[in-house]
């Protein structure tokens, strides 16, 4: 640490990663976007985005104004332009002669499949738009969507966009209570749901949760539109509930998309709730579509004629909005949509799907990669994954060793890996390598995309020099930025714009390495203070995962009498290691070895006081580790708010392990 900067440093830089993977020459030669994009954007950022907006989208009224930030922190992009999102995602591809191209290869969990072309999609979305109109939905209304990951989820979103209504998708795994709160917050007049969906081989009912949510009272819901997915017995309320099959299927396939203002709300979506109560994030149309479309082209290098794209996210999360429904379809992509879990019927289901459809671009989350590492590389090894030419990661920092595993085992040591940093609030990817340009470093998101300005600041709001850590901020408005928290402008200002006035504070810690590349270091809420040293969770976790027996790790700071806080780690072992430990009874040795491993990799200051080997970690329903619950356990408290937890039994198991 340089002396002049020591005082204001907010995060220490511990881990040193020297591996780097330049793009394969043939990939670089054919890449959609080259290094000149950075120069273009730097010359005139607004004109760069205006060009993308015009090249990638069809506008019914062209815009004359690019960015208006006079109402900061609420931006207006392309404010006097008009367009329709569904027309951009569907109709214009049919008009351009691509109606026969497959838009969606749907794979149901039980193995049923559907092939939906762009022409089919246009008819379905048009029918659904007519049905929603018949149910009273008007431009400017809100519609709640509570569906499994079936094509109707995408169709319903696009149907809302087609009539100019905003959707509020609620993840199908959420309870009636969560649904109730979100319906009320958004004032949704219609809910689109299904009888149920398939999960782990079972038909899970969904409709009863909608009934329960409405029965709680206070909702403005007039109608419920019900997709038949499982065929299970479903109670329908006369006059309120209608079947998709009776309304959408019989509606006209002719529908004129409603051109809306670029700033018309496209959707409301709640954050994952990793750090607390979810926030209702509001996105609008023109800027959101511009940046999602651009990033699919630039970061995923999508070639719509030849690629088969698969983003594994549920539409209940922002990734499913930006990189299942809008970004890929606006580009005319062919994509895979898979309903179920990765271990049904077997733990190689994903790899079987990649081989079956010849997936070329795969976008998933570190949690899935680490789970696959835990299960062992023999499973992907059973399938031909040679079609894959690009791999993406999003949702959490990816530990360098998980990155290496992803590249080697899934990507055949050939496909570039892009680690993409963004948030529900940013709407689209912000910091990521460009696969045909950047020499990728395992575990680093590296570079703000062309047209995006980010920095890492110290406590005092000054940019940190290279080699130092601090707070990640975005320093200029971007097209897909949130336009606010639904119904709460003050909370928008307070949450994101008050820590560093005039700059958007993302809530994440980050460092710049010696080359100026950005490394994400986890939530600032999770930063530990060990004997006066501020340490991030991510680097210690990555050091643990770099040991060959560890698949996944979570680190927290627990109160300690001598050091203020002490590092407490929770680790999941790889399947091969668990078998060996069981045979040889070497559990205690593993813990000692891992403590020393951390000390050796990043220094004695980071050596965990204790390490607990666990079978599972507490995660949100979107798969992110919830460290605040582990901190409760490590400090001997009952775990706090667990309502956004995917599996509440995990906390009981861990608490028992801790005291036992």
- Binding residues for CoA, as ranges, are 199-202, 319, 531
Would you state the structure tokens that stand for residue 496, as one six-digit string? 């994101």
Work out whether 272 is an interface residue with ligand ATP (CB under 6 A).
Answer: yes
d(CA 20, CA 13): 19
Strand segments (E) across 69-147: 76-77, 82-83, 102-107, 113-117, 142-146
Q: Name the binding residues.
A: 199-202, 319, 395-397, 419-424, 508, 523, 531, 534, 545, 547, 550
Work out whether 539 is an interface residue with ligand ATP (CB under 6 A).
Answer: no
Least separation in angstroms between CB 384 and ligand ATP: 28
Least separation in angstroms between CB 484 and Mg ion: 15
Least separation in angstroms between CB 432 and ligand ATP: 8
**Comparison of 196 and 433: residue with beta carbon closer to ligand ATP:** 433
Instruction: Identify which range of 99-107, 389-397, 477-485, 608-616 contacts ligand ATP by CB under 6 A.
Output: 389-397
Work out whether 271 is an interface residue with ligand ATP (CB under 6 A).
Answer: yes
d(CA 166, CA 186): 9
Instruction: Identify which range of 40-48, 88-96, 133-141, 388-396 contacts ligand ATP by CB under 6 A.
Output: 388-396
332 alpha carbon, distance to own chain's centre: 21
Instruction: Identify which range of 40-48, 134-142, 161-169, 393-401 contacts ligand ATP by CB under 6 A.
Output: 393-401
Would you state the structure tokens that stand for residue 541, as one six-digit string? 């976790």
Instruction: Identify which range of 130-138, 214-222, 325-333, 502-510 contacts ligand ATP by CB under 6 A.
Output: 502-510
Work out whether 508 is an interface residue with ligand ATP (CB under 6 A).
Answer: yes
Residues from 276 through 335 that contact ligand ATP (CB under 6 A): 276, 278-279, 318
Instruction: Identify which range of 27-35, 321-329, 384-392, 500-508 contacts ligand ATP by CB under 6 A.
Output: 500-508
Number of residues in the chain: 660
Q: How many CB atoms lie within 10 A of CB 439?
A: 13
Helix, strand, coil tally for the chain in percent (to 5):
35, 25, 45
Least separation in angstroms between CB 301 and ligand ATP: 18
Work out whether 392 is an interface residue with ligand ATP (CB under 6 A).
Answer: no
Q: Name the binding residues for Mg(2+).
A: 545, 547, 550
* C-alpha distances out from residue 618 to 365, 505, 553, 645, 648, Å: 16, 26, 11, 7, 8
Closest CA to 614 of 651, 589, 586, 644: 651
Work out whether 397 is an interface residue with ligand ATP (CB under 6 A).
Answer: yes
Q: Cβ neighbours of residue 300 under 8 Å, at least 6 residues apart?
A: 309, 361, 363, 390, 392, 418, 435
Closest CA to 630 of 644, 650, 609, 603: 650
Work out whether 396 is an interface residue with ligand ATP (CB under 6 A).
Answer: yes
**Comparison of 136 and 276: residue with beta carbon closer to ligand ATP:** 276
Residues from 234 through 293 that contact Mg ion (CB under 5 A): 271
d(CA 570, CA 556): 9
Work out whether 627 is an interface residue with ligand ATP (CB under 6 A).
Answer: no
Closest CA to 294 of 450, 440, 75: 450
Is the Cβ–Cβ distance between 480 and 422 less than 8 Å? no
Backbone angles phi, psi at 238, to 5 degrees: -60, 135
**Comparison of 133 and 271: residue with beta carbon closer to ligand ATP:** 271
Least separation in angstroms between CB 122 and ligand ATP: 31
Least separation in angstroms between CB 446 and ligand ATP: 10
Q: Name the binding residues for ATP.
A: 395-397, 419-424, 508, 523, 534
Least separation in angstroms between CB 506 and ligand ATP: 6
Element of type H or E holding 652: helix 649-659
Which of Mg ion, ligand ATP, none interacts with 520 (beta carbon under 5 to 8 A by kind)?
Answer: ligand ATP
How many helices (H) and strands (E) would you count in the chain? 24, 30
Query: Which parts of 145-204 fold into alpha helices (H)?
Result: 151-163, 176-186
Which of ligand ATP, Mg ion, none interacts with 272 (beta carbon under 5 to 8 A by kind)?
Answer: ligand ATP
Contact residue for ligand ATP among 523, 597, 619, 631 (CB under 6 A): 523
Q: Cβ neighbours of residue 80 under 8 Å, at least 6 residues apart?
A: 61, 63, 64, 65, 261, 262
Is the Cβ–Cβ distance between 451 and 41 less than 8 Å? yes
**Comparison of 198 and 300: residue with beta carbon closer to ligand ATP:** 300
Least separation in angstroms between CB 589 and Mg ion: 38
Reduce the DSSP state of residue 616 to 3 states and report it. Answer: coil
**Comparison of 52 and 423: residue with beta carbon closer to ligand ATP:** 423
Work out whether 438 is an interface residue with ligand ATP (CB under 6 A).
Answer: no
Site string for Mg ion, 101-140 (x = CB under 5 A): ----------------------------------------
Region of 260 please: left (phi>0), alpha (psi -120 to 50) or beta.
beta
Site string for ligand ATP, 416-435 (x = CB under 6 A): ---xxx-xx-----------
* C-alpha distances out from residue 534 to 262, 275, 568, 595, Å: 43, 19, 15, 19
Work out whether 173 is an interface residue with ligand ATP (CB under 6 A).
Answer: no
Scan for tokens 């690019």, then name that residue.
Answer: 66
> What is the number of the residue whose Cβ is closest to Mg ion?
271
Residues from 332 through 351 that contact Mg ion (CB under 5 A): none
Work out whether 274 is an interface residue with ligand ATP (CB under 6 A).
Answer: yes
d(CA 111, CA 91): 29
Which of Mg ion, ligand ATP, none interacts with 23 (beta carbon under 5 to 8 A by kind)?
Answer: none
d(CA 264, CA 284): 5
**Comparison of 126 and 424: residue with beta carbon closer to ligand ATP:** 424
**Comparison of 84 and 274: residue with beta carbon closer to ligand ATP:** 274
Least separation in angstroms between CB 507 and Mg ion: 6
Residues 637, 639, 641, 647, Cα dihedral to 10° = 180
**Comparison of 272 and 325: residue with beta carbon closer to Mg ion:** 272
Scan for tokens 């006066």, then name that residue.
Answer: 532
**Sign for the pseudo-dihedral over CA of 259, 430, 293, 170:** negative
Instruction: Identify which range of 37-45, 218-226, 233-241, 390-398 contacts ligand ATP by CB under 6 A.
Output: 390-398
Q: Cβ neighbours of residue 637 under 8 Å, at least 6 residues apart?
A: none
End-to-end CA distance of the chain: 40
Work out whether 395 is an interface residue with ligand ATP (CB under 6 A).
Answer: yes
Q: Which residues bind ligand ATP (CB under 6 A)?
A: 271-276, 278-279, 318, 394-397, 419-421, 423-424, 445, 506-508, 520, 523, 622, 624
Q: Which residues bind Mg ion (CB under 5 A)?
A: 271
């Amino acid at each position: 640490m340089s002396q002049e900067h020591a005082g204001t440093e907010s995060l220490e830089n511990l881990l040193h990663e020297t591996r780097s993977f330049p793009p394969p020459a043939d990939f670089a030669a054919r890449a959609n976007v080259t290094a000149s994009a950075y120069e273009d954007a730097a010359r005139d950022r607004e004109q760069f985005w205006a060009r993308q907006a015009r090249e990638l989208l069809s506008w019914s009224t062209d815009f004359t104004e690019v960015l208006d930030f006079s109402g900061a922190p609420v931006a207006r992009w392309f404010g006097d332009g008009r367009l329709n999102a569904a027309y951009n995602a569907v109709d214009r591809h049919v008009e351009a002669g691509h109606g026969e191209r497959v838009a969606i290869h749907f794979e149901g969990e039980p193995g049923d499949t559907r092939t939906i072309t762009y022409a089919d999609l246009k008819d379905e979305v048009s029918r659904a738009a007519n049905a929603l109109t018949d149910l009273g939905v008007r431009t400017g209304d809100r519609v709640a969507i509570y569906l499994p990951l079936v094509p109707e989820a995408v169709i319903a979103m696009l149907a809302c966009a087609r009539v100019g209504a905003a959707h509020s998708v609620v993840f199908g795994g959420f309870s009636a209570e969560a649904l109730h709160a979100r319906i009320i917050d958004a004032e949704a007049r219609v809910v689109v749901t299904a009888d149920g969906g398939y999960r782990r081989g079972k038909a899970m009912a969904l409709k009863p949760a909608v009934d329960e949510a409405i029965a709680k009272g206070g909702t403005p819901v007039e109608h419920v539109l019900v997709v038949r997915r499982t065929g299970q017995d479903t109670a329908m309320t006369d006059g309120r509930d209608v079947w998709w099959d009776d309304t959408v299927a019989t509606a006209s396939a002719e529908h004129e998309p409603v051109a809306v203002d670029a700033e018309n709300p496209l959707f409301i979506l709640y954050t994952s709730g990793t750090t607390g109560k979810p926030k209702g994030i509001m996105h609008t149309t023109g800027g959101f579509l511009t940046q999602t479309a651009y990033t699919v082209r630039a970061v995923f290098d999508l070639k719509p004629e030849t690629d088969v794209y698969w983003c594994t996210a549920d539409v209940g999360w922002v990734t499913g909005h930006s990189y299942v429904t809008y970004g890929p379809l606006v580009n005319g992509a062919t994509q895979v949509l898979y309903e179920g879990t990765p271990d049904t019927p077997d733990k190689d289901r994903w790899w079987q799907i990649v081989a079956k459809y010849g997936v070329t671009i795969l976008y998933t989350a570190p949690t899935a990669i680490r789970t696959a590492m835990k299960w062992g590389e023999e499973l992907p090894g059973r399938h031909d994954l040679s079609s894959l030419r690009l791999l993406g990661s999003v949702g959490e920092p990816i530990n360098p060793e998980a990155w290496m595993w992803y590249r080697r085992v899934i990507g055949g040591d050939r496909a570039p890996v892009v680690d993409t940093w963004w948030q529900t609030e940013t709407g689209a990817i912000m910091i990521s390598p460009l696969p045909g340009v950047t020499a990728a470093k395992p575990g680093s998101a590296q570079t703000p995309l062309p047209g995006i300005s980010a920095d890492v600041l110290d406590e005092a709001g000054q940019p940190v020099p290279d080699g130092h850590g601090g707070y990640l901020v975005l320093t200029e408005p971007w097209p897909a930025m949130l336009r606010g928290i639904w119904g709460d402008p003050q909370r928008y200002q307070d949450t994101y714009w008050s820590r560093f006035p005039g700059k958007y504070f993302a809530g994440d810690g980050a460092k710049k390495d010696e080359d100026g590349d950005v490394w994400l270091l986890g939530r600032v809420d999770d930063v530990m203070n060990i004997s006066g040293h501020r340490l991030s969770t991510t680097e210690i976790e990555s050091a643990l995962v770099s040991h060959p027996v560890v698949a996944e790790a979570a680190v927290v700071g627990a109160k300690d009498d001598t050091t203020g806080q002490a590092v407490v780690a929770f680790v999941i072992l790889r399947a091969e290691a668990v078998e060996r430990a069981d045979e040889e009874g070497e559990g205690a040795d593993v813990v000692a070895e891992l403590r020393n491993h951390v000390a050796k990799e990043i220094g004695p200051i980071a050596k965990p006081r204790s390490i607990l080997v666990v079978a599972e970690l507490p995660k949100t329903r979107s798969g992110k580790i919830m460290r605040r619950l582990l901190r409760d356990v490590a400090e001997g408290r009952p775990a706090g708010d667990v309502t956004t937890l995917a599996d509440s039994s995990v906390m009981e198991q861990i608490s028992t392990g801790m005291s036992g």
